[in-house]
Structure 1
Amino acid sequence: MVQCYSFCFLFLLFLHNISFSESLKSGFSVELIHRDSPKSPFYRPTETHFQRVQNAVLRSIHRANYSRLDHDVETTVTPSTGDFLMKYSVGTPPFQIFGVVDTGSSTVWMQCQPCKNCYKQDRPIFDPSKSSTYTRIPCVAAECLSVTTTFCDFNKGKHCAYKIGYGDGSISKGDFSRDTVTLTSSSENRPIRLLRTAIGCGHDNVGTFDREHSGIVGLGRGPFSLASQLRPDTGGTFSYCFTPMFEGEIKPSFLHFGDRAEVTVKTAVPTPMVINNEASFKYYLVMEAMTVGSKRIEFPRNGGEGNILLDSGTTLSFLPDEVYSALEAEMVNAVNLVRTDSPIKKLKLCYELTSGRKYQIPTVFAHFKGGAVVELHSINTFLKVSETKICLAFAPRPKAVFGNVAQQDILVSYDTQHNTVTFLNTDCTSEL
């Protein structure tokens, strides 16, 4: 099935003809809502800043604990641990949805009426019978034949169905359908209508889903992710730039598509995306080494496959044991602070902050295949977990993950046509 993706996707583009209602040659941007932002349905005003930090770390560990490679699993983690949401609308007239954005998932789905076996959702649930543009995909359509998560449901008049399983046992299943998806361009404040978008209309959704959101917005490599379905109009390029998430007020972050997603700085070097045959819908890269000061820490290779997952939904970064141990040792040598116990068990290296005492965190250089080098500053490597403590935002784990703390103030651009990712250190708040 992995080998079919490129051919099947091109075939789908010919048959499916997803189109914009207006020209978007220059691309567009939409706001990403961090789950701890006051704009988020997850926001709890009674939580302290450091409670939110701790919750983010625990979500990250929970996500990593359920990570596994499985041909039959759409995404290999828990379905509700993403840190960013997107507000969009489905149907005609438009019905507003909050979806969890996940680069580790390749389907867009939401809860739908009738919802007899669904998780409790705070917001109203979409009723497809009230949308004049909603249609169920027939079994004979190419969309129903190209991936393992879609199949023919003969009990419903030969219409296509989908079933997505998650690493923690959660399941979403229902009708595989088409409808109009409407996004709001943050720069022009105008609606962007995506006609006949393939979307899962979930009537049976059970597991660890959060009641605050309506479903998942997949941005993965599969043919039915939002990024892939936009490819005919955007050239397959999208990017994001995460503003600092745990330092004072959370500023908006943005998801860019098309020309606006491109990195135009000539010194920025792309690194190839590598297909992991057991998780082909995810974005894997090859990290060659990490450098701290004069110490170069070599990263173990994984044959011809990627050795680190680029993940927007994981807070921490995870490294193989030997890499983590070497990184921790170099930090211990370089940071002139007193070590202390962590208030969060899984964070191993923490320091006590003393009022008036100056300290420096060394810059870590992440070296990727192809010559790409990413500078990781203190905002990328340490989290302030209390008023007087900071902890290294990395943890040991067999499967490496490059999480979103490490991606703060870095423009991350995905070119799915040329299969590359480009990193550019920048001030993400300058986009505001």
Structure 2
Amino acid sequence: MAIVQALLISLTILLFPLLLFKTNDKVPMLMLPIEHRDDTNPSLALLPIVSGDAIDVPSNFVVIIGVGNPTENFYLTFDTGSNVAWIQCEPRINCYKQKNTIFKPSSSITYSQIPSSSPVCSNFNYHARERDTPTTCAYSIKYGDKSYTNGILVRETLTLTPNHVFPGFLLGCGHNNSGSYGTGAGVLGLARDPISIVSQLSSTFGRVFSYCLPYLKDSKGYLALGRSTTSSSTATKYTPIIKDPSQPSRNFIHFIGISIDGRKLPIDPSILNSPGTILDTGTPITRLPAKAYTVLRDSFRRLMAAYPLGEKAKTLDTCYLITEAKLKQIPLPKIVMHFKDVDVEVHRSGILVKTRKVFCLAFSAKRDEGTPGIIGNKQQSTYEVVYDLDGEKIGFRPNGCS
């Protein structure tokens, strides 16, 4: 019996991409390792996460989502810092170059537009009144890096796996889009707004999801919608979510300090939490309040004094003239971020990042002191990060991708 079950699981893994996605030479099939799959659990959907190299944005991470009926597959940037799931759509007003075909609503039998007069539209936080589309629910979204998407809110079939298909999913159909999306089709927003995928699918998965971001571009992580078995592991340590009524869609956490090589840095926690700190998979570099960043940077430079500094790289001001081969031999200073009840040691891949011909400290000062601090995706890599919005907590499990 065990042998038969093992064969069935292996067969499912092999057939999974064929069942879900059309085969083409632009979007490769992705498979999850066997230890991260559970096709028998309707309350858990597992999707592979891969490096943004797939869409020419190596600093980000992507998933493949099926949209429409018949299903078409699209690369979407995986983003815990935003709310809306959207893809580029025909007809194009101003669209960037996309790796695979732009979605054509006329090709899907389940596509429907949302009237501007509907309660769904009036309650939509990104509703924008457009003269060109007075009867449909228009939206406009601008991101922190000045990227944007403008389009209409629609209902469409969303396919996550062959066993997780959701008709009537509220999706942004972007006709005017520009920014740092590479050649991907759009964004998958996982914040806590009612429009996010987490909220829309909560009746199936609860308001729980987790992910692990791989540190090697050729390796795979995963996104789990629903409660995985590891989320209740004793290895997963939780910190409470702090809610701010003025920013209800954000999941803030209590950032209480930073250590470097075992020494707690002299940073007042009130500085780190003004006005708050969030985790954001759509931002590669951790952004700290200027005072906190200066203390970390100066301490790091002292510990790395034996290595020559190079030219600054945009917002990164602590860069070293070392080769990749040399970097592998250097015992980098250990950086630990302290949150309430949880300590997160940054993987060495999240300490120095390559920018042109130099390797730079993967932390920077916030551009605007009035915006939240951000824990970027480089500093989250290798951990399973668990968002339990039902329990109002976020967990971290080391070695989460393996």
Q: TM-score range by the shorter chain?
A: 0.7 to 0.9
Q: Aligned match of 1:263 in 226, 231, 249?
A: 231
- Is 2:160 the partner of 1:183? yes
Alignment of 1:49-88 (within 5 A): 56=59, 83-88=60-65
In structure 1, stretches of 5+ residues that fail to align are: 1-21, 44-51, 57-82, 185-189
Q: Aligned match of 1:165 in 123, 138, 142?
A: 142
1:148 CA drift (Å) = 2.6
State the one-letter code of the partner of 2:286. Answer: S
1:345 CA drift (Å) = 4.8
State the one-letter code of the partner of 1:234. Answer: F
Equivalent in the alignment of 2:205: 234
Q: Aligned match of 2:188 in 210, 217, 223?
A: 217
SS of residue in 1 equivalent to 2:291: helix
How many aligned residue pairs are there? 357
Equivalent in the alignment of 1:89: 66
Alignment of 1:94-133 (within 5 A): 94-133=71-110
In structure 2, stretches of 5+ residues that fail to align are: 1-38
Whole-Å separation in 2 of the counterparts to 1:96 and 1:356: 41
Equivalent in the alignment of 2:250: 282
SS of residue in 2 equivalent to 1:233: helix
SS of residue in 2 equivalent to 1:175: strand
Q: Does the Cα contact within 8 Å between 2:66 and 2:159 map onto a contact in 1?
A: yes
Whole-Å separation in 1 of the counterparts to 2:148 and 2:101: 20
Equivalent in the alignment of 1:310: 279
1:155 CA drift (Å) = 7.5
Equivalent in the alignment of 2:56: 42
Q: Does the Cα contact within 8 Å between 2:55 and 2:99 map onto a contact in 1?
A: no
Q: Does the Cα contact within 8 Å between 2:96 and 2:183 map onto a contact in 1?
A: no
Summarize deviations over 1:351-383 as a string: whole Å, max 9, x none.
4559889642232221112x1211224233223
Normalising by structure 1, we get a TM-score of 0.72
Q: Aligned match of 2:289 in 320, 338, 342?
A: 320
Equivalent in the alignment of 1:418: 391
Whole-Å separation in 1 of the counterparts to 2:238 and 2:284: 23
1:35 CA drift (Å) = 1.5
Summarize deviations over 1:259-290 as a string: whole Å, max 9, x none.
22752222533112223445432332220111
1:314–1:197 Cα change, 3 Å:
same
Whole-Å separation in 2 of the counterparts to 1:345 and 1:217: 27
Q: Does the Cα contact within 8 Å between 1:283 and 1:311 map onto a contact in 2?
A: no
Equivalent in the alignment of 2:173: 201
Alignment of 1:351-430 (within 5 A): 351=320, 353=322, 359-369=330-340, 371-384=341-354, 390-397=359-366, 398=369, 399=371, 400-426=373-399, 428=401, 430=402
SS of residue in 2 equivalent to 1:129: helix
Q: Does the Cα contact within 8 Å between 2:265 and 2:296 map onto a contact in 1?
A: no
SS of residue in 2 equivalent to 1:329: helix
State the one-letter code of the partner of 2:242. Answer: V
1:156–1:320 Cα change, 3 Å:
closer
1:415 CA drift (Å) = 0.9
1:127–1:323 Cα change, 3 Å:
same
Q: Does the Cα contact within 8 Å between 2:75 and 2:184 map onto a contact in 1?
A: yes
1:337–1:191 Cα change, 3 Å:
farther
SS of residue in 2 equivalent to 1:298: coil
Deviates more, 1:236-245 or 1:166-175: 166-175
Q: Does the Cα contact within 8 Å between 1:98 and 1:214 map onto a contact in 2?
A: yes
